């Protein structure tokens, strides 16, 4: 690639999260970065001989590809007549970059290479040397979250060659979401794979001793206490000071609202540290009043050298209490919509978020997929609640559970700071846990992760298996919400099923029983949410095809929901995706195909439903 390529040269990160964040992450650094997006050399390795033949040392690439982009797109462009891969795909990417000049002699800084997301299986070489991630992985597994490499000085050259090998398979044990596998083939609700170089990659200067780009936030709203969980990365052991400063985002002033210093003795390596600050007089975050604060966190060494990150946060509390969900100690009805981003670009996802809010939604259920982290930031700013889910494997095995746990932990590390994220699903419709009713090991794992979330991440509500087959142990539901997926196009049948649910019939409302394991007696002790319904326009779900008829049917179904002690609902779905032609929003432009406010229900106030907050 010529040295005059437009994406050469260091850029400076913005120092305010209110400005456009150029990189797909939620945390900002006041440093320099080199975006490595653009044209890369590209090759398919159909016989998987590249490792044996040393392609990372030298290879004659015949094609090019634009990064970011999917393997599927790049193969179609380089081999237009070839069919899509069906079992396993191996591809290689390579490019050069000129090492930027840096301001110091390397005493305080080093070069870090970060992939916003890539996979499912990724190996990276620099000038022929295999790199290991900061976590020590020579092979990174997963395709939904970022991972980074610290570059060693002895491997760097004035002009450097970066080589990436990506492998994906139809293995049902991997966390796939709704991408096809050996178990679920493409068609209907199952989609084409979309894998590989799917987010940006960049080089940046970072401090040798620093805070990593991951911040956990949990607030106690009654006394305005905020618990921050930060991750330190240390090369030079010694005494450090962790300094936190909180600023008002709406009316920024030179003086912070609160400041706290925490002395730490840190050894080499990586560790997490939880600290607590009081933010007297802080306003709470909620739909309709998404009050956010700016956090500047510094790690200062004994000589006064400071490494800094910045993010935003909000104070909020979410609870499952009896029949309803409570936000900041007030009952709230969840007007939700199912969102499957599919192949949407960051700009398209931004338009989708605004459109879903225009529909009257206060909740977006991001369906078993990872999205650009800046979308979580946008939800924070808009005041949209998010329900996120672990992309599911498609088989239930010890390996699939190991992969599931690893994916959950990767996601948590990077997105646990957002006040908008209020609900997590571990599984959906028992995909990847098909033996949940018969296999004690499957249930044991899900219950273990449910308790893990409660202990380590109490700021979230957790759903064990969304849709049906929730786990009961000794009559206690191992889910904070009792959820049901109910599809019928008939209004009379819809009303009948809703009546059965609120009366405690757990066996005759969804495809499978709502609860398995020990007997569970509903008694309105858990919030009941119809977490999928409608889907009008998709052949499998039935219902009206025209926009006017669909609009009226949705209104009628929504009215029936609000007549009953139900805590919320999630309409299926936001946009069309492949065979599912049931969207209410244009995929590319973001325009609504139904009236604004259609999914809002706060104007309805039946006697047996609580007022809606926000």
The single residue listed with the structure tokens 């620093």 is: 210
State how far the Cα of 41 lies from the Cα of 26, in Å rounded to an integer: 29
Find where tokens 């964040």 sit.
21
Q: How far apart are CA 483 and CA 178, in angstroms?
A: 20
Give CATH for domain 27-207. Answer: 2.60.120.260
Tokens 């078993």 sit on residue: 368
Delimit the domains of the chain by residue range. 27-207, 211-314, 325-585
The matching CATH number, chosen from 3.55.50.30, 3.30.1490.100, 3.20.20.80, 3.40.50.300, for 325-585 is 3.20.20.80
Our measurement of the distance from residue 538's CA atom to the centroid of its chain's CA atoms, rounded to an integer in Å, reads 26
Residue 148's closest CA among 113, 197, 109? 113
Which helix (H) or strand (E) segment holds residue 466: the answer is strand 461-466
Contact 27, 309 (CB under 8 A): yes
Q: What phi, psi does 585 have (nearest 5°)?
A: -130, 135
CA distance 303 to 561: 62
* Dihedral angle sign, alpha carbons of residues 301, 303, 304, 310: negative
Cβ contact 362:327 at 8 Å:
no
Distance (Å, rounded) from C-alpha 207 to C-alpha 150?
11
Contact 521, 314 (CB under 8 A): no
Q: Indicate the pairing of strand 121-126 with strand 129-130.
A: antiparallel
Q: What per-residue confidence (pLDDT) applies to 236?
A: 97
The per-residue pLDDT for 282 is 96
- Residue 229 CB neighbour total at 10 angstroms: 18
Q: Which residue has the tokens 């849709």?
A: 467
Which CA distances in Å does 487 have to 334, 495, 508, 571?
18, 12, 13, 10
Bond prior to 573 in cis (omega within 30° of 0): yes
Indicate left, alpha or beta for 328 from its phi (over 0: left) and psi (-120 to 50: alpha): left
Residue 32: what are its φ and ψ, rounded to 5°? -105, 150
Rounded Cα gap, residues 539 and 557, in angstroms: 19
Contact by Cβ (8 Å): 348, 574? no
Q: How far apart are CA 431 and CA 175, in angstroms?
A: 10
Report cis status (omega within 30 of 0) of the bond before 68: yes
Quick one: fold of 211-314?
Immunoglobulin-like (2.60.40)
Q: Which residues partner with 483 through β-bridges?
A: 529
Q: Note the Cα 432 to chain centre separation in Å.
A: 19
Average pLDDT of adjacent 10-residue blocks, the chain of 614 residues: 37 48 87 94 97 98 96 92 90 97 78 97 98 98 97 97 98 97 95 95 96 96 97 98 94 87 98 96 97 97 96 97 97 98 95 98 96 96 98 98 98 96 98 98 98 97 98 97 97 98 97 97 96 94 90 96 97 96 96 97 53 56
- State whether residue 65 is helix, strand or coil: strand
Q: What is the pLDDT of residue 105?
A: 61
Q: Do domains 27-207 and 325-585 have the same CATH topology?
A: no
Whole-prediction pTM value?
0.95
SS3 assignment, position 175: coil
Task: Evaluate whether 428 touches 436 at the Cβ level (below 8 Å).
Answer: no
* Number of Cβ atoms within 10 Å of the Cβ of 511: 12
* Res 16: pLDDT: 42
Q: Is 496 helix (H, G, I), strand (E, B) or coil?
A: helix
Is the Cβ–Cβ distance between 41 and 18 less than 8 Å?
no
* Contacts with 161 (C-beta within 8 Å, 6 or more apart), sequence order: 94, 95, 96, 126, 127, 128
Q: Which residues contact 593 (CB under 8 A, 6 or more apart)?
A: 547, 583, 584, 585, 586
Element spanning 523, H or E? none
Residue 375 CB partners (closer than 8 Å, separation 6+): 346, 349, 350, 353
Q: Pairing mode, if any, of strands 363-366 and 385-389?
A: parallel
- Burial of 58 per CB tally in 10 Å (0-12, 13-18, 19+): exposed
Tally of helices (H runs) and strands (E runs) in the chain: 8, 36
């Amino acid at each position: 690639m010529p040295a005059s390529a437009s994406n050469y040269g260091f850029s400076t990160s913005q120092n305010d999260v209110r400005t456009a964040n150029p990189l797909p992450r939620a945390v900002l650094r006041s440093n320099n970065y080199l975006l490595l997006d653009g044209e890369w050399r590209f090759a398919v390795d159909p016989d998987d001989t590249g490792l044996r033949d040393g392609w990372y040392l030298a290879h004659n690439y015949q094609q090019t590809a634009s990064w970011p982009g999917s393997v599927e797109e790049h193969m179609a462009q380089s081999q237009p007549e070839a069919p899509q891969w069906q079992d396993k795909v191996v591809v290689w990417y390579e490019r050069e970059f000129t090492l930027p000049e840096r301001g110091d002699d390397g005493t305080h800084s080093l070069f870090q290479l970060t992939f916003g997301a890539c996979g499912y299986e990724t190996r990276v070489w620099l000038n022929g040397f295999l790199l290991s991630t900061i976590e020590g992985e020579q092979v990174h597994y997963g395709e939904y979250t970022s991972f980074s490499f610290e570059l060693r000085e002895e491997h760097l050259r004035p002009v450097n060659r970066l080589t990436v090998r990506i492998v994906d398979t139809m293995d049902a044990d991997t966390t796939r979401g709704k991408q096809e596998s050996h178990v679920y083939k493409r068609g209907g609700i199952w989609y084409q794979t979309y894998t590989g170089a799917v987010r940006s990659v960049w080089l940046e200067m970072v401090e040798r001793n620093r805070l990593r780009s991951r911040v956990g936030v949990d607030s106690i709203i009654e006394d305005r206490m905020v618990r921050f969980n930060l991750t330190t990365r240390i090369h030079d052991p010694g005494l450090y000071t962790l300094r936190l400063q909180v600023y008002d985002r709406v009316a920024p002033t030179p003086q912070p609202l609160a400041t706290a210093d925490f002395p730490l003795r840190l050894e080499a390596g990586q560790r997490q540290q939880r600290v607590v600050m009081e933010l007297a007089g802080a306003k709470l975050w909620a739909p309709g009043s998404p009050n956010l604060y700016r956090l500047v966190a510094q790690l200062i060494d004994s000589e006064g050298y400071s490494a800094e990150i910045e993010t935003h946060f909000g104070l909020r509390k979410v609870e499952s209490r009896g029949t309803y969900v409570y936000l900041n100690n007030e009952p709230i009805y969840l007007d939700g919509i199912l969102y499957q981003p599919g192949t949407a670009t960051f700009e398209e996802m931004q338009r989708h978020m605004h459109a879903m809010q225009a529909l009257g939604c206060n909740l977006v259920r991001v369906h078993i997929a990872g999205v650009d982290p800046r979308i979580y930031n946008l939800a924070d700013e808009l005041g949209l609640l998010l329900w996120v889910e672990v992309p599911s494997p498609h088989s239930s095995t010890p390996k699939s559970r190991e992969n599931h746990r690893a994916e959950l932990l990767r996601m948590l590390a990077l997105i646990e700071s957002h006040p908008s994220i209020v609900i997590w699903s571990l599984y959906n419709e028992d995909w990847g846990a098909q033996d949940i009713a018969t296999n004690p090991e499957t249930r044991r794992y899900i219950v273990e992760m449910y308790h893990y979330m409660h202990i380590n991440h109490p700021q979230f509500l957790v759903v064990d298996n969304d849709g049906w087959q929730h786990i009961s142990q000794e009559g206690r539901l191992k889910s904070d919400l009792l959820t049901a997926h109910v599809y019928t196009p008939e209004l009379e049948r819809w009303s009948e099923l809703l009546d059965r649910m609120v009366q405690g019939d757990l066996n005759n409302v969804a495809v499978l029983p709502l609860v398995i394991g020990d007997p569970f007696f509903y008694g309105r002790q858990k919030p009941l949410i119809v977490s999928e319904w409608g889907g009008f326009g998709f052949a499998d779900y039935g219902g009206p095809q025209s926009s006017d008829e669909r609009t009226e049917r949705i209104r009628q179904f929504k009215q029936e929901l609000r007549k009953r002690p139900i805590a919320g609902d999630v309409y299926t779905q936001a946009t069309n995706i492949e065979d599912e032609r049931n969207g209410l929003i244009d995929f590319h432009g973001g325009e609504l195909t139904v009236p604004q406010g259609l999914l809002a229900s706060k104007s309805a106030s039946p006697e047996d439903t609580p007022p809606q907050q926000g």
